[in-house]
A and B are shown apart, each in its own frame.
Chain A
Amino acid sequence: MNHENCEHTNADQHGLDRRQFLGRSVIGATAALTAPAWLPRVSFAAGAGPSPRDTLVVIFLRGGADGMTFCAPYGDGELYNRRPTLAIRPPGQANGAINLDGFFGLAPAMAPLLTPYQAGNLAFVHASGLSDPSRSHFDMQKWMEFGVPGAQATTVSNGWLGRYLQTIAPSGPGLLRGIGIASILPRGLSGGPAVQAVPNPAAFVISGSTSTAAARRAAIAAAYAQEPDPMSSAAANTFAAMDLMASINFTTYVPANGAVYPATTFGTALRNAAAIIKAQIGVEVIEVDLGGWDLHNQLGPTTGAMATLMGELAGAMRAFHDDLNDVNQTLNRVTTVALSEFGRRASENGSFGIDHGHGNAMIVMGGHVNGGQVIRVWPGLALPNLDNGDLAITIDYRDILSEILVDRMACTSLPAVFPGWTMTNRGITN
């Protein structure tokens, strides 16, 4: 694909060039891309875009993951007034927090993340989020993925990750620039060039007889080539993704440092993400989701639903950290951000759960993250300091994402990615 094309608008991304490309190139490339070794045998030419730069991994915690549980502000005594039964107790007490900085502590189930934190590769950003009055999951997920508050809804119609990819030439061949390891393309990637949902990277192949697979694929390609978007570009991206995924042997992939991923959909997705990143096939952005955090009833901060989810999140992120911390220092060219649409209310409800809230904690991990700290401008949990009963937002999540995009992703078009936002440097990267 022509790299110049990627500088253009969304409409151009889905234009004729890719379809012509599909007809000419991808089919022809099939035979060359069947290397059985786990690493692809094909060497890809570098793209025209600025390089080197990181692969950005976004983990969307859907449902409102409670940052005041997973990164508990035990140093704010008001926490225990707001949440007499559910707050993580201070360090030293039974099921108490694991101290981070004398004010914040990890929930016990988050223990696997202590090592990356202490190694300086992981930071939290607390009382962060998107300043929008909505407490709706669906609104807030949409606006966070679109990268604007609802008041600016009319200014964008696609995701911030998609817009980032639009504004920069590919770092690699540009065949497949963004993937969501999900059954449906995450909205954050929507509008991006060469983005594709890949539910299971280890089995992204056409079914049926292998001897006729290439010809059957050609027939499907011909039918979709003339279809309007989104289907024509989705077909083209599907074929590109099939070729690239086929070049990686996921089953023989061995994580570095003996890292063991949780045997869950999410754990497997991060393991596959690590294999994709190390294979250097030109994927620039990866999104993986972990849902189930909407715990209005029986939060279970130390034993129960949230503890189980935190264990899965922390276990998988820890394995990802150790796996990327390999001899090639892959960790130095990957930045991972975990975020959720909002935190939960400051006070617990009557069902041992917590309703929808506002400010929350983000988790940022990578070799060039200023780790070992909880970045915050703490607004406090005393009643007068709350925003409609919720933790206030003192750091906009776009500050954090902007800094990562500029420092680690060579982004020079922030106004296009986050229209209307002027970034304040929060010191998340180095």
Chain B
Amino acid sequence: MASERDLTVSAESSATSAPADASRRSFLTAGASAAILAGFATRTHAQTQASLAGPPPGPWSWTSEQELRFLVARVTNGWNPATYARAVQLGYDAFLEEQLDHTALADPEVTAMLPAYPSLSLSSKQIYDQYVVPNDTNTAINQLKTATIVRAIYSKRQLFERMVEFWGDHFSVDHNDGQVQWLKTVEDRDVIRANAFGTFTNLLIADAKSAAMLYYLDNYRNFSTAPNENYSREVMELHTLDVGHYSEMDVAELARCLTGWQYRGTSLANHGEFFFNAAQHDNGQKVVRGVVIQPGGLAEGELVLTQLAHDIATARFLARKLCNWFLSYNTPQVVIDSVAGVFRASGGDIKSVLRKIFARETLHMMSPASTVKIKRPFHLVASTVRSILPEVSAPVRFITELATMGHTTFGWSSPNGYPDTAQAWGTVLLDRWNFMSRFFSNSIVGVNVNAAKLFGPVTKGSLASHANRLLTGGFMAPEDVAAVQAYADGQPTLNDTLRREVLALAASTPSFQTY
């Protein structure tokens, strides 16, 4: 950690050398105030229409430091000295490429931690026999949730983890729902993680065949004599085309194509594995979105899913969601269109899409102020730990903390995944502030923040500016630092409690709650 302290100092000096660029508040006020408000506005249809009608934006000027800060903020689960130093060392393009080539990135810390979660490497049958049969309903669930949090915090493959989180919401299954409780582990490993940086087509088809999704959206009960169209609707509405690009007849016809898609039951050694039950497949001819699908068994569904994955509507829908996730709540339509173009031209190659999203010329189509987003609670927790890296001996405790903030990992009950909007997360603040209070006061079991060590000989009059360096490398808005320092100034004595309160307050300000 000695090198980290040094790097903190270097980040600090770079901040003080360019205060105007460094301040998030001036970062915000650099743009037109209307753009700021638009950046925070809930995405609505009306606004989308308005942005379609508006003039093409940009180009905007970004300093190279702004670009690098932005990249680190968006491809990681939060700033820390080591990560930022690595980005400075490699430069913008090379840092992005390093994150994209994730298997080449050694990840010793996480590799050492994961054996604590042995169910991660088991088959669904093994999880079922070892945990579910003996009536242990929580262990495997909590291991997966905890490992997800641990990876988000400690993995060197930060962009990969951000992408995994995105796909987990895009193909959301409710971890509480029946068999998903034990099927989600394999889906997370063999579907989401295995394809997160692959092609969208492969991901979509793997997901359609995953036991967790077959169960959650009822396609395993979709029979020729008794169709169930739950999955067929959601795969078009939520996973590919978006609403408005298919008819009720298409839902029914796609359901017929997907009859007989099932997974092996709990009594079998290969429980959870996909199989095609020809006896329960509807062998008639179908017409989906105007295309005649000749009888072909399993191939019918695979064909339609492939067509859906390559549809222009899918490219546009995914581009919009990915831009919202990585760039801005209000990404200009011209940017979304260009990303959609790459999505389609590359056959849904996710790395190509990410390169387009993070291309510098893409950034220059947006004002820096318009990109400000609010951290979702998962991101907020991960970024808090990442900033000062305290001892965390029981990360399982973060499950409860996330539940309090409305963001239980894999806990969204509807198939559309947790929202990614300012309206959803920017309007419920108290639990986010209270998390910071518990975290920095060591009230969360297993979290040990050593405030005395973090602050060293820092005087009372410099507490807030030091907290700023510890949490963000010196990039908090001056107003936020001043508000926290005003609190410190009003307290009679410098002691450990005050240091902790200052850290909690600094992390409660908009500077840390947004990114």
Residues of A within 8 A of B (CB): 62-63, 133-139, 153-157, 183-185, 187, 190, 196-197, 199, 204, 206-209, 212, 215-216, 218-220, 222-224, 226-231, 234-235, 237-238, 242, 291-292, 294, 296-297, 349-351, 353, 355-356, 388
A296 and B228 in contact, given A138-B414, A223-B483, A230-B426 (Cβ under 8 angstroms):
yes
CB neighbours (8 Å) of A207 from chain B are: 433-434, 437-438, 443
User: Measured between C-beta atoms, what is the minimum distance from B486 to chain A in Å?
Assistant: 6
User: Measured between C-beta atoms, what is the minimum distance from A187 to chain B in Å?
Assistant: 8
Docked CA distance A190–B49 (Å): 20
User: Measured between C-beta atoms, what is the minimum distance from B448 to chain A in Å?
Assistant: 17
User: Measured between C-beta atoms, what is the minimum distance from B147 to chain A in Å?
Assistant: 24
Q: Is the interface of A mostly helix, strand, loop or mixed?
A: loop
Count of B interface residues, CB-CB < 8 Å: 71
User: Measured between C-beta atoms, what is the minimum distance from A227 to chain B in Å?
Assistant: 5
User: Measured between C-beta atoms, what is the minimum distance from B45 to chain A in Å?
Assistant: 4
Among A133, A220, A222, A292, the residue within 8 A (CB) of B433 is A220
CB neighbours (8 Å) of B108 from chain A are: none
CB neighbours (8 Å) of A133 from chain B are: 248
In the bound complex, do residue A190 and residue B40 qualify as a contact, i.e. CB atoms below 8 Å apart? Answer: no
In the bound complex, do residue A184 and residue B406 qualify as a contact, i.e. CB atoms below 8 Å apart? Answer: yes
In the bound complex, do residue A157 and residue B42 qualify as a contact, i.e. CB atoms below 8 Å apart? Answer: yes
Q: Does B479 contact A (CB under 8 A)?
A: yes
In the bound complex, do residue B221 and residue A215 qualify as a contact, i.e. CB atoms below 8 Å apart? Answer: no
CB neighbours (8 Å) of A199 from chain B are: 404, 406, 428, 431
A197 and B490 in contact, given A220-B433, A350-B221 (Cβ under 8 angstroms):
no
Interface residues of B in 11-56 (CB under 8 A from A): 25, 28, 33, 36-37, 39-40, 42, 44-47, 49
In the bound complex, do residue B228 and residue A208 qualify as a contact, i.e. CB atoms below 8 Å apart? Answer: no
Docked CA distance A112–B12 (Å): 65
Best-buried of A134, A183, A185, A206 by chain B (most CB within 10 Å): A183
In the bound complex, do residue A234 and residue B37 qualify as a contact, i.e. CB atoms below 8 Å apart? Answer: no
In the bound complex, do residue B416 and residue A355 qualify as a contact, i.e. CB atoms below 8 Å apart? Answer: no
CB neighbours (8 Å) of B248 from chain A are: 133, 135, 388
Among B225, B423, B480, the residue within 8 A (CB) of A230 is B423
In the bound complex, do residue A230 and residue B427 qualify as a contact, i.e. CB atoms below 8 Å apart? Answer: yes
A-B contact pairs, 26 of them (CB 8 A): A134-B243, A135-B248, A138-B237, A157-B44, A157-B46, A184-B425, A187-B423, A196-B427, A206-B430, A207-B443, A212-B491, A215-B490, A219-B483, A224-B510, A226-B479, A228-B33, A231-B40, A231-B429, A238-B429, A238-B430, A349-B229, A350-B221, A350-B223, A350-B226, A351-B226, A353-B221
Q: Does B138 contact A (CB under 8 A)?
A: no
CB neighbours (8 Å) of A208 from chain B are: 437, 441, 501, 504
Please, which residue of chain B has its CB at the minimum distance from the CB of A14?
B37
In the bound complex, do residue A153 and residue B508 qualify as a contact, i.e. CB atoms below 8 Å apart? Answer: no
User: Measured between C-beta atoms, what is the minimum distance from A57 to chain B in Å?
Assistant: 20
Docked CA distance A355–B48 (Å): 31
A184 and B42 in contact, given A206-B430, A223-B510 (Cβ under 8 angstroms):
no
User: Measured between C-beta atoms, what is the minimum distance from B476 to chain A in Å?
Assistant: 9
Q: Does B497 contact A (CB under 8 A)?
A: yes
